[in-house]
Structure 1
Amino acid sequence: MTDVHNDDDRHLREELVSGQQVFQGRMLDVRCDTVRLPNGATATREYIVHPGAVMVIPLLDDGRLVVERQFRYPVGRVMLEFPAGKIDAGEPPLTCAVRELAEETGYRAAEWARAGVLHNAIGYSSEGIEIWLARGLTAGQRGLDDEEFLDVATATLDELLAMAASGELTDAKTLIGLMWLQNWQSGRWTLNWHRAA
């Protein structure tokens, strides 16, 4: 058995032999690469190159959380989730977080803290989702895109945890966001808060 902190991972690495772009869409870049495995054999890796995204955990002063209900076509159902969105080319993650929170919910935050990055589909996507917490919220006008339809709601942490336990809340980024929130609120993990620019 190996130590989880072992930095010598050369025996696990795969090397690119050749690559091909099989589809380029507005958001997704689908690749099919041939790689050399650690034992010298070759294999195929199909994956999506994604520009990255942000997710915001908006905390109201009374302890409730701002969430969204949005139809997600690939799974064919309305999902409950924290506000999130794709990072534009060259856009700093915090700028994206501020923009997405305002556009989707209408809220602006006085303080922000970066929790970390979530890699939600490491077997087939390069997407990393930056997790941000926002507090000191002020309500305002939303600015949804023409193709965006979602409801904004609020819930307590206990309500969201009960929905996760029952299987009603299944969005991976939202579940990881709840984990971050619980660990920060319990004092196990720390966050560095700063004022919004």
Structure 2
Amino acid sequence: MTLDYEPPELIKHRLSYSGRKFGFDVNTLRLPNGAVGDWECIRHPGGALAVPVTPDGKLVLVRQYRFAAAGRLLEFPAGTIEEHEDPQATIQREIEEETGYRAHRWRKLGQFFLAPGYSDEVISAFLAQELELLETPGVMDEDEDIERVLMTPMELEDAIHDGEPVDAKSITSYFLARPYL
């Protein structure tokens, strides 16, 4: 995703870290208005997410352990886009690995920045319909702790309102998908 704007002037690149899934930069910049400051940014290749809906109208979510949140969050299946991979190919793979379902109808819901105050990560969201439960689900990544959860849209909204931990990308994608449910 690109935005039209006058880019800031890079004065100094101070720190860079490259990890398994993302990188981190610290840069001193001069903004077009003349302000100078330091900006930290998590560099991420982007992610893809599906809002899977069973033929009887249930949403397929996962409850997944997240280290940074120190607990399990309710989420729609999602994954990091591999280098040179199309976002839809990413989520087609991830939905099978994380939920054991395959979708036969896809609708792109849109793209959005996850946390633009400190990250360049963009999420591509899709609606996944005409689900088929696979006899042999895909193999989950060995560093994942995931439980499949089926809910009606009302049960999900109740969970969100009742304070169950649900991640922002799932809440956003649910509301993008709601007109089609």
TM-score after normalising by structure 2: 0.91
Indicate which of 141, 154, 161 corresponds to 1:158: 154
More strand by share: 2
Identify the residue that residue 182 of structure 1 maps to in structure 2. Answer: 178
Q: CA deviation at 1:164?
A: 1.1
Q: Does the CA-based 8 Å contact 1:29-1:49 persist in structure 2?
A: yes
Identify the residue that residue 147 of structure 1 maps to in structure 2. Answer: 143
> What is the aligned residue count?
177
Higher relative CO (Cα under 8 Å, sequence separation at least 6) belongs to: 2
- Residues 1-197 of structure 1 aligned to structure 2 (within 5 Å): 14-140=8-134, 141-185=137-181
Q: Does the CA-based 8 Å contact 2:23-2:43 persist in structure 1?
A: yes
Runs of 4+ in 1 over 3 A off after TM superposition: 7-10
State the alpha-carbon separation in 2 of the partners of residues 104 and 69 from structure 1: 10
Work out which of the two has the higher radius of gyration on C-alpha atoms and give 1 or 2: 1
Structure 2, unmatched stretches of 5+, are none
Deviates further, 49-58 or 167-176: 167-176
* AA in 1 matched with 2:109: A
CA RMSD of aligned residues (A): 1.8
Secondary structure, in 3 states, of the residue corresponding to 1:67?
strand
Structure 1, unmatched stretches of 5+, are 1-6, 186-197
Q: Does the CA-based 8 Å contact 1:21-1:29 persist in structure 2?
A: no
Q: Does the CA-based 8 Å contact 1:131-1:177 persist in structure 2?
A: yes
TM-score after normalising by structure 1: 0.84
Question: Does the C-alpha gap of structure 1 residues 57 and 8 become closer, same or farther in structure 2, counting only changes over 3 Å?
Answer: closer
